[in-house]
Amino acid sequence: MPNASDPSTGHPSQADREHAVTVSAGARLHVGFQNLSLARERLYGGIGIGLETPQVTVTATRADELVADDSLVREYAERALGVLDVPGVEIGLEKPLPRHVGLGSGTQIALSVLAATAHAYDLNPKVRANAPALGRGGRSGVGVATFENGGFVVDAGHPTNRFTTAPPEEGDWTVPPVVARHDLPEDWRFLVVVPDADPGRSGENEDASMRTVVERADPAIADELAGVVTRKLLPAAAADRLEAFGEAIREIGRKNGAWYADAQGGVFRPPAGELVEALESCPVLSGIGQSSWGPVVYGVTDRGHAEEAVAAAEDALAERGLSGEVLVSRAATSGATVEKHHLRR
C-alpha cells in the first residue's frame, strides 16, 4: 500500500511513520593510489578492499526535524536531508567505526546516514550520485564502491585537468567509476591492527598534505605501479592466488609510501612503520602495509593461520609498548545492509 502523504508538502504524513531503518556498513582498507603525479592523464585511482568487520551501524526514523546526538552524524544528516528534500530524521549511531585511523569511517558513516534517511522515507538514496554532496569520493572511490558492493576494488581515478593541486569545489565532482572488482576467496582473512596512536590526517590537514604530495610526486612511480596493477595484482585477484595478491599489495603500499615519505615521516608513518617491519617476519602473513594515512596496519592470511597472525600482531604491539586492537575479517562480498523494523503504534 502506498504511503500516505501530507498534501501540503508531498511528504509522508505523521500517520505513516511506521518503521525504523538500520544500515550497517563494513570498514575498508585503502592500499594506495595508482597515480599522484600531475604529469599523467588521470589522478588518484584508488585500490582497496571492503571488510565484513568492523562495521558502522546507524538507525533512522522519520521526523519533523533533525534529531541526532553524534556531531558527525548530525553533519551528514543535515546534508542528506537537503539532498533528499525531506523534512527531518531522528538518527542514532548504534555502532561506530574508529575515526581517522585508515578504515574509511567518514565515507561509511556519511553513506550509512544517507541510506538510512532515504529508506526511512522509502526513497532510493542514489549513493554514488549523492556521495559528492556529502563530500565523499573526491579522491578515492573505493569507500563508495565497497559501500555499494563490497569486494576488492580498483577505481579509474579522476581526470587530472579537473583535479590539479586545488580540487574542485566540494561536491563538484563525480565518484570515479570502478574499473575492476573481485570477490576474494571465503577463506582469506585480513589482519587489521589498530594501534592507540595519533589519528591519521583528515579534513583540511589531509587536503594540505595531499596538495604537497601531488605537487612533488614522481611520475615514474605511477608508471611502475601501472605494471604492478595490471601484471601482478589483477591476475592474482582473478586467480585467487593469496601469496601473489599479498606481494602485489605490499609493493603498491611501498611505492605509495615513497610519494608520502616527506609528508608522513617515512614510507610508513610512526608507529605503523615499526609494526609493518615486525609483521614482515611472520611467515603466515603477506601483503603487510598501512591503510590510507594510518595508523592502521593490515596483512592477509588464510583462515587456518588467522590465530597465528593475531598472536604475531599482539606480540608486535606489546614488544613496542603499544596498546591497541587486533581484528581479523573476511573481505566483504556485498555492500551495506538495510533492515526495516516496524514500530509499535
| 207 in a structural domain | yes
Residue 225 included in any domain: yes
Does residue 184 sit within a domain?
A: yes
Residue 84 lies in a domain: yes
pTM assigned to the model: 0.92
- Predicted confidence at residue 9, as pLDDT, reads 39
Residue 199: per-residue pLDDT? 67
DSSP 244-284: HHHHHHHHHHHHHHHHHHHHHTSSS-TTHHHHHHHHTT-TT
* Residue 8 placed within a domain: no
Kindly report the CA angle at 154 between 152 and 157, in degrees rounded to 5?
A: 155
Reference 44, options 180, 145, 139; nearest CA is 139
* Residue 149 vs residues 23, 182, 187: alpha-carbon distances, Å: 14, 10, 19
Provide the pLDDT for residue 6: 41
Question: For every one of its 345 residues, what pLDDT tens digit does the chain have, with 9 covering 90 and above?
Answer: 233 334 333 444 444 457 999 999 999 999 999 999 999 999 999 999 999 999 999 999 999 999 999 999 999 999 999 999 999 999 999 999 999 999 999 999 999 999 999 999 999 999 999 999 999 999 999 999 999 999 999 999 999 988 776 667 877 899 999 999 999 999 999 999 999 988 655 455 667 878 889 999 999 999 999 999 999 999 999 999 999 999 999 999 999 999 999 888 889 999 999 999 999 999 999 999 999 999 999 999 999 999 999 999 999 999 999 999 999 999 999 999 999 998 865
Structure confidence at residue 208 (pLDDT): 80
The type of residue at 194 is V
Residue found under cell 593469496: 242
Residue 261: give the domain boundaries: 14-342
Find all residues with CB under 8 Å of 158, minimum gap 6, and list them: 42, 43, 44, 139, 173, 176
Q: Is residue 5 part of a domain?
A: no
Write the burial class of residue 2 (CB in 10 Å: 0-12 exposed, 13-18 middle, 19+ buried): exposed
Question: Is 110 contained in some domain?
Answer: yes
Please name the amino acid found at residue 285. Answer: L
Residue 271 sits in a domain whose CATH number is 3.30.230.120
Counted domains in the chain: 1
Residues in the chain: 345
Asked, for residue 231, whether it belongs to a domain, the answer is: yes
